[in-house]
């Protein structure tokens, strides 16, 4: 190392020190803003795009749109979502997949949003309820389908068709038996 490099490195170090002290000095004289968090919950402005916890979208009748396809479970990078499903017989004789339990582990979720993006029926979304602090990890495991699933209505019976009148068969005593004709020689 020669003398020129020595003084250049001292100058760069001194420049870096002055730059750091400039940032610190600016923050020292800037007025402080303190959030009064628990007291200002009513006026707290949370951005709409904030991802806090996963939730089902329920309609006004208490039903959800989840078809138990499992695409959210397959696309979750760290297996935060686990779905249990069952096959049910419909009244018309067909079979359908029904959601049994939709479990969501908030403690291992990375809030990446892949589950919401791949849902074909838009059945899940992120809420912006950020207050999720608990004392035990077991409370972070949530079942999203907490409302009981409604049974599908049975199909309406088809109207009874009017019976078609069949021609009356002749009675056994009224039948005429033709006598065989004799052959002429």
The 10s digit of each residue's pLDDT in 54-84 is 999 988 888 888 888 999 999 999 999 999 9
β strands within 46-180, DSSP E: 53-56, 81-89, 95-105, 124-127, 141-143
Within a 10 A sphere around the Cβ of 171, how many other Cβ atoms? 7
Query: Which of 67-71, 104-108, 150-154 is predicted with the least confidence, judged by mean pLDDT?
Result: 150-154
């Amino acid at each position: 190392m020669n003398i020129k490099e020595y003084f250049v490195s001292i100058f760069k170090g001194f420049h870096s020190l002055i730059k750091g002290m400039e940032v610190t000095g600016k923050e020292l004289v800037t007025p402080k803003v303190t959030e009064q968090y628990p007291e200002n919950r009513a006026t707290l402005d949370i951005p709409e795009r904030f991802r806090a916890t996963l939730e089902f979208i329920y309609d006004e009748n208490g039903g959800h749109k989840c078809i138990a396809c499992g695409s959210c479970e397959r696309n979750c990078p760290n297996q935060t979502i686990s779905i249990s499903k069952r096959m049910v017989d419909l009244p018309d004789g067909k079979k359908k997949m029904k959601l049994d339990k939709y479990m969501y582990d908030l403690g291992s979720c990375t809030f990446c949003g892949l589950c919401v993006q791949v849902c074909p029926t838009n059945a899940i979304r992120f809420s912006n309820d950020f207050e999720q602090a608990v004392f035990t990890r077991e409370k972070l495991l949530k079942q999203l389908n907490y409302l009981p699933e409604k049974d599908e209505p049975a199909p309406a019976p088809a109207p009874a068709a009017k019976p078609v009148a069949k021609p009356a068969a002749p009675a056994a005593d009224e039948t005429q038996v033709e006598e065989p004709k004799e052959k002429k020689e």
